[in-house]
Structure 1
Amino acid sequence: MRNRLRWLDIITAPIARNPEFLVFMFALGITAALLSVDYAHKAKPYEYAWEELFFCLYAVCAVLAVLPRRLRAVARGLVYAVAYPVTIVDMYCFVKFDATLNPSILMLVNETDPREAGEFFSAYLSPDVLMTNVGWVLLIPILHILWSIHRKLRKPSRLIGLERKAADGIKRVRPLWNVLVAVCVLVSGIHCFPNLRNLQSLMSQKTVGGIEHRLTEKDCGKQYLPLYRFAFSAYANYLASKQIDIIKDVAKTVTVDSCDYTSPNIVLIIGEAYCKRHSGLYGYHLPTTPRQVAMAKRGELVAYSDVVTPWNLTSYVFKHIMSTYTVGDKGEWCDYPLFGEVFRKAGYHVTFLTNEFLPKAKQAVYDFSGGFFLNDPEMSAAQFDARNDRVHIFDEGLLDDYKAVQERRAHDGDTLQKGNLTIFHLIGQHQNYRVRCPKSKKHFTLEDYSDREDLRPKWKKNVRDYDNATLYNDSIVREIVRLFENTNSVVIYMPDHGEEVHSRELPHFSGRMHSTTITERLAREEFEIPFWIWASKSYRKSHPELWKAIRASADRPYMTDALPHLLMYLAGIKCKYYRDDLNLLSPEYNASRPRILKHQTDYDVIMKRKQHPQPGDNPSIRQ
């Protein structure tokens, strides 16, 4: 029987030839997997971390086992040279920045010069780091070094005798050992195969957007190891760099025929995660937008009734609204000029103030995907004359940023441009609604939702927090408008996408579903958005025909991927990128253009509409 099982020696050979490698790499991997979990927020380690790590290391050992001894030693050394530093850096980022390795951190590293790197190390590296989880990770390579030194030293005869006895013992149980290893490899392989397959799918995406979309799916793969996160981050940056190269080439070819500076001041406010049905401007039963309603009653604001966004992901939306590409055009968004480049070529001063898309360590892939083409130094300079350099807990911080930009321009004498385009990108009602409104400005209480008997207490709190965030957002957009009241200005407000906030349909849900199939409910909650245009008194007086066109277009069906064409028209920019049929205010506007959501579903078909809004869709206020 024992001889029959000798063929199983081939299964244990990878371990027998690389025991030190297997032990220390397993210790390193499992330590990192357990210590880089955010237990404070009830996160849990990956369920099959032990099995998958063993299976993957066994596979690596199998490859090493077939190499010649010297080459095997070199290969193991290369793995150590990568695994130890990457794991230490990953744990350090988790301890210091509350974020493991991600694409944004690698992007920041790539953009850091030697001086900045020196300042970073002097500011963040200190002996107290050794007393954190970083110390536990550092302990493993230290023990590995000590073990290697011990092996090279002459061993006492007593230890040699013990090793021989251990070897004899292993020989006696070799058949059992072989079977045990075979079973462990088989079982661990079965358990970890789905995750490895999902990771392979994630890493085979062709664009950053593809990666992001894959991450919205439940089976996107668990990146529980620092090496996984490092490889993923490097790949995401590689894909981003490919699109950046295309955008840079396109930017060099941007031309403008002429510009009339029709609107001296154009302001674009981009909100975040705005559920249209929670806007008082659109008939919500609670006063979440009293200031917008007041502006509409005064005849300053026109609310549009039938506007959708092409995507329910911020990064996808930004790529579509910042590029002159529209859904259905040939190629991709990066093959077309960005409207910021066009405006700067036309002579407009472009200011971009964002409370989300600044490069930072603790940044989700979604923010990286949406911001990489805005934060690349060369592309940022091509699109914007002025930017803010920090994000804020609340959106009111952007008001101070705008004032700082204006003061800086006045100090530098940079106020001679005939036109100004100012873009405010708010954090708005982004996920975790509770923290999107200062405590002092929270107005709604649970008593306001006594009629929602269908909601559990936790869900009622979600709705309350969302409505308070919406009310706070109303105050912010009003303050932005106030900045331009005494100027010749037009302001456009639109959020990136909608949001599901415990509608009365079952099952109850808060956030975004990211379903592969776009249903009527998903289209209504996550793709329909509020959209309005405000104009100052002097603007309405000096542009009566434009204001008339704005009011007349309030019920036209519209998708925000065509936004650059509206902006170019308001500016009076004449160039080959502008299309009259995509301009919402033009008599030639194509109101029957298919509004394709996520490049797959016709919104008007799924909502059983043709070219006209249905009764009940109009805003409660219309001037």
Structure 2
Amino acid sequence: MNSFPRKLFLKYLCITSRFEKGNLLRLALSLLTLNKSGCTHKRKEERTFFTFPFDVCFVCTNFAENKDLMKIVKPLNCLFAKIFSPVKGNALFFVMMYVLSCLCAWITLPPFKGATVYENLYTEQFVDLYMICLLLMLVPQKARRWVRLFLYIILYSVALADTYCFVKFSSTLNPSMLMLVGETNSREALDFISSLLSADFLFSNVGWIILLAVFNIFLAYLPHIKRLHLPQFSIEKYYPLAGLFTLFMIVWGAVASAHNKAATWKLMSGRSIGEVEHTLTEKDHAVLYTPFSRLVFSIYANKLAAKQVDKLVAASDKVKVDSCSFRSPNIVLIIGESYGKHHSQQYGYFMPTTPRQVKREHRGFLVPYSDVVAPWNLTSYVFKNVFSMHVVGQQGDWCDYPLFPELFRKAGYKVQFLTNQFLIEANAAVYDFSGGFFLNNPTLNKAQFDLRNEKLHVFDEDLLADYDRFVKEGKIDTKGPNLTIFHLIGQHVNYRTRCPKKQYKFSADNYTEKRPELSEKQRTILSYYDNAVRYNDSIVDQICKRFENKDAIVIYMPDHGEECYEESRGFICRNHSAAIDWPLAHYEFEIPFWIYCSPKYAHRHPEIFREVVQARRRRFMTDALPHMLLYLAGIQAKDYHPEYNILSDHYDEMRPRILKATTDYDKLREAYYKEKKNKK
């Protein structure tokens, strides 16, 4: 040491923080834990902390008392200790619930490539738990332990249920699961509990939650074991530093999670289940990253759905049919999925995607309509508008009016509904829940349908097999009167899975000349979509075949359009922007629509066939479809309005076609073509 000047050595110590009894952390701790009496060693070097001078002891690295510095540091010590006190007062609860939240995120991660946990999981969860602990500090200490116990039971139970659902149904808690729970009887509940205690589940990811709960209980009772002498640690002096870290995490977490908190508030403020669903289509929608938040959302969604169900049940009770002539013995409605009109050969697309429909059109019995739009580009909204007798522009909401299958059943028709989307399933997404809750509610289901399928299929051809089986078993009398509704999976994303590989017709190479601006990957996706369109062509043709020798009329409409690299727009699926411009309306709301009359039907009902042909160029929006269906059945009721029936002489063709309840499609189209003409 004599070889170094004392001052130079002290500077070296300050730079490297390699003091005899500590390091940089020790230095930071010493800043926060000044010894009031200072130290008695004489070898000191004067340093500065910001603008406050103090003396650093060469021997013990403590600090001599500096009154100016103490005036600031002492209050900071108290402040940081206070900030840390909610965590300190609920230490075990805070740590275990933090671990539980992270564990749930890890073990319910979807088994997909690139799947990651919520990016702000660790910081946002820290803030959430801190706020809970802060509220717990307001509870008297004797009562606090019971409140914590209650929270333990709730949070572990919800985490257990969430993980069980993921293991059993490949989905965490959602509104559909909660709806199923509401319909569960005592026997099914006992089966659930017994399955939860089975070895298969105990050794699955569910076991991690149980193991953590057991470890939590062990830690809680550890200090109460009399024979166990635990070492005592004095950590009070670290509280200010812990408080500083806590403050840092709170600020960081609050800033990072502010957007998600605002989005969650918006999600939980929706006035209807449809509004909630639409909120979830937004790009930066809320992330419900904990089992408890998913449970709360599921309860809220079911509560919103229940309100509309109550209105629908009330409207159903008032359904009255004055008379029915059974004008059409067999009415078939095919509802497709995500079908862009501009990918239909029938409407001028450059690929042969609809050869069978074109062939039927050439025979003269299939009549395509040229100017039809959907009211929404979201399936659930379309279903609500199409099934309700309400049309856009009328007073009230869709749920204030009866559903058209109810009128058919009331009139004496047998109604069959075969769907490849809207069955009650535990892993159904919010979109399927929103679109199907009014179809799956036991009361409304009974009021609307005589027969339904019980299983979803990968391909729509199996839905036809269900129909054939029902006919073979005598559950469907093909002589009628029947209303048969087929709801297809159609061209729903993922496009590649919507057509059997053996039926692939197109590949990326087929688009090299027509779409050279697209990449190889984009052309491949485009080929998947067009293959799905062509497969859909085979399905609707098979449905027509089943009725072509009967007195039957078949109506086809998809729920909405779809984009698949249209022009230079560069994306697939749909854009759920609130603002609708012309390209959006053109590609996502315009849909193919046709009516097929069997030869027998055209012969027996020439006046209807003539009306079908004459109406093919009329403007139409599918929210008015039920009025045409009632006319085809010959149903007379107060809910039927001829001005909404496209086949009627009293049809109001100039009725505004309002998209998403905001934008007039015809005004948008008129403005676009006017601007285009002016540019020329």
- TM-score bracket, normalised by the shorter chain, equals over 0.9
Structure 1 CA distance for aligned equivalents of residues 558 and 97 of structure 2: 47
Instruction: Name the CA shift for 1:383/1:610 in 2 (closer, same or farther; >3 Å).
Output: farther
Moved more, 173-182 or 236-245: 173-182
- Measure how far apart 1:583 and its partner are: 0.3
The answer as to whether partners of 2:80 and 2:239 remain within 8 angstroms in 1 is no
Q: How does 1:87-98 map onto structure 2 within 5 Å?
A: 87-98=159-170
The answer as to whether partners of 1:347 and 1:418 remain within 8 angstroms in 2 is no
1:439 aligned partner, one-letter code: K
The answer as to whether partners of 2:84 and 2:240 remain within 8 angstroms in 1 is no
Structure 2 CA distance for aligned equivalents of residues 440 and 408 of structure 1: 30
1:24 aligned partner, one-letter code: M
The answer as to whether partners of 2:336 and 2:489 remain within 8 angstroms in 1 is yes
The answer as to whether partners of 1:302 and 1:532 remain within 8 angstroms in 2 is yes
Q: How does 1:183-332 map onto structure 2 within 5 Å?
A: 183-332=248-397
Structure 1 CA distance for aligned equivalents of residues 496 and 629 of structure 2: 34
The answer as to whether partners of 1:557 and 1:611 remain within 8 angstroms in 2 is no
Matched, 1:555 2:617: yes
Q: Which residue does 1:471 correspond to in 2? A: 534
After superposition, give the CA deviation of every residue in 1:200-219 in whole Å (9 maximum; x if it has no partner). Answer: 11011111001000000122
The answer as to whether partners of 1:592 and 1:611 remain within 8 angstroms in 2 is no
Structure 2 CA distance for aligned equivalents of residues 112 and 124 of structure 1: 16
Matched, 1:74 2:127: no
Matched, 1:575 2:575: no
Moved more, 98-107 or 144-153: 144-153
Q: Which residue does 2:27 correspond to in 1? A: none
- Measure how far apart 1:493 and its partner are: 0.1
Q: Which residue does 2:547 correspond to in 1? A: 484
Instruction: Name the CA shift for 1:611/1:379 in 2 (closer, same or farther; >3 Å).
Output: farther
2:406 to 341, 348, 370: 341
Q: Which residue does 1:141 correspond to in 2? A: 213
Q: Which residue does 2:201 correspond to in 1? A: 129
Moved more, 113-122 or 226-235: 113-122
1:331 aligned partner, one-letter code: G
Q: Which residue does 2:75 correspond to in 1? A: 4
After superposition, give the CA deviation of every residue in 1:22-51 in whole Å (9 maximum; x if it has no partner). Answer: 011001001112222225232211111000
- Measure how far apart 1:418 and its partner are: 5.3
- Measure how far apart 1:124 and its partner are: 7.4
The answer as to whether partners of 2:582 and 2:672 remain within 8 angstroms in 1 is no
Structure 1 CA distance for aligned equivalents of residues 632 and 418 of structure 2: 21
The answer as to whether partners of 1:349 and 1:417 remain within 8 angstroms in 2 is no
Q: Which residue does 1:517 correspond to in 2? A: 579
2:332 aligned partner, one-letter code: V
2:129 aligned partner, one-letter code: L
> What secondary structure is seen at the aligned counterpart in 1 of 2:472?
helix
Q: Which residue does 1:432 correspond to in 2? A: 494
Structure 1 CA distance for aligned equivalents of residues 145 and 167 of structure 2: 33
2:510 to 445, 448, 451: 448
Q: Which runs of 5+ in 2 are unaligned?
A: 1-69
- Measure how far apart 1:16 and its partner are: 1.5
After superposition, give the CA deviation of every residue in 1:272-331 in whole Å (9 maximum; x if it has no partner). Answer: 000101111111111110000000000010000000000000000000000001111111
Instruction: Name the CA shift for 1:512/1:155 in 2 (closer, same or farther; >3 Å).
Output: farther
2:75 aligned partner, one-letter code: R
Structure 1 CA distance for aligned equivalents of residues 192 and 465 of structure 2: 27
> What secondary structure is seen at the aligned counterpart in 2 of 1:608?
helix
Instruction: Name the CA shift for 1:542/1:333 in 2 (closer, same or farther; >3 Å).
Output: same
- Measure how far apart 1:606 and its partner are: 1.1
Superposition RMSD in Å: 1.9
Structure 2 CA distance for aligned equivalents of residues 155 and 177 of structure 1: 31
Q: Which residue does 2:523 correspond to in 1? A: 460
1:328 aligned partner, one-letter code: G
Structure 2 CA distance for aligned equivalents of residues 532 and 61 of structure 1: 62
2:440 to 336, 357, 375: 375
Q: Which residue does 1:176 correspond to in 2? A: 241
Q: Which residue does 1:362 correspond to in 2? A: 427
Q: Which residue does 1:101 correspond to in 2? A: 173
The answer as to whether partners of 1:306 and 1:557 remain within 8 angstroms in 2 is yes
> What secondary structure is seen at the aligned counterpart in 2 of 1:584?
coil
> What secondary structure is seen at the aligned counterpart in 1 of 2:112?
helix
The answer as to whether partners of 2:340 and 2:562 remain within 8 angstroms in 1 is yes
Question: Who wins on radius of gyration, i.e. which is larger?
Answer: 2
Structure 1 CA distance for aligned equivalents of residues 394 and 529 of structure 2: 36
Structure 2 CA distance for aligned equivalents of residues 268 and 376 of structure 1: 21
The answer as to whether partners of 1:310 and 1:317 remain within 8 angstroms in 2 is yes
- Measure how far apart 1:440 and its partner are: 1.2
Q: Which residue does 2:451 correspond to in 1? A: 386
The answer as to whether partners of 1:591 and 1:611 remain within 8 angstroms in 2 is no
Structure 1 CA distance for aligned equivalents of residues 276 and 144 of structure 2: 35
* Number of equivalenced pairs: 603
Structure 2 CA distance for aligned equivalents of residues 415 and 532 of structure 1: 25
1:329 aligned partner, one-letter code: Q
Q: Which residue does 1:600 correspond to in 2? A: 662
- Measure how far apart 1:610 and its partner are: 11
Structure 1 CA distance for aligned equivalents of residues 478 and 119 of structure 2: 61
After superposition, give the CA deviation of every residue in 1:442-487 in whole Å (9 maximum; x if it has no partner). Answer: 1112221111111111111111001111111000001101111111
Amino-acid identity (%): 47
After superposition, give the CA deviation of every residue in 1:2-39 in whole Å (9 maximum; x if it has no partner). Answer: 42221333211211211011011001001112222225
After superposition, give the CA deviation of every residue in 1:395-438 in whole Å (9 maximum; x if it has no partner). Answer: 0111111122223335xxx7498521000000000010000011
Instruction: Name the CA shift for 1:244/1:144 in 2 (closer, same or farther; >3 Å).
Output: same
Instruction: Name the CA shift for 1:387/1:593 in 2 (closer, same or farther; >3 Å).
Output: same
Structure 1 CA distance for aligned equivalents of residues 432 and 75 of structure 2: 58
Structure 2 CA distance for aligned equivalents of residues 573 and 181 of structure 1: 70
Q: Which residue does 2:608 correspond to in 1? A: 546
TM-score, normalised to structure 2, is 0.86
Q: How does 1:109-124 map onto structure 2 within 5 Å?
A: 109-119=181-191
> What secondary structure is seen at the aligned counterpart in 2 of 1:474?
helix
The answer as to whether partners of 1:319 and 1:333 remain within 8 angstroms in 2 is yes
> What secondary structure is seen at the aligned counterpart in 2 of 1:534?
strand
> What secondary structure is seen at the aligned counterpart in 1 of 2:492?
coil
> What secondary structure is seen at the aligned counterpart in 2 of 1:3?
helix
The answer as to whether partners of 1:348 and 1:417 remain within 8 angstroms in 2 is no
1:419 to 481, 486, 492: 481
Structure 2 CA distance for aligned equivalents of residues 498 and 510 of structure 1: 11
The answer as to whether partners of 1:15 and 1:58 remain within 8 angstroms in 2 is yes
1:461 aligned partner, one-letter code: T
Q: Which residue does 2:61 correspond to in 1? A: none
1:542 aligned partner, one-letter code: R
> What secondary structure is seen at the aligned counterpart in 2 of 1:351?
strand
1:471 aligned partner, one-letter code: R
- Measure how far apart 1:120 and its partner are: 5.0
Structure 1 CA distance for aligned equivalents of residues 203 and 518 of structure 2: 46
The answer as to whether partners of 2:195 and 2:201 remain within 8 angstroms in 1 is no
Q: Which residue does 1:409 correspond to in 2? A: 474
- Measure how far apart 1:516 and its partner are: 1.6
- Measure how far apart 1:377 and its partner are: 1.1
Matched, 1:153 2:153: no
Structure 2 CA distance for aligned equivalents of residues 263 and 211 of structure 1: 39
Moved more, 293-302 or 109-118: 109-118
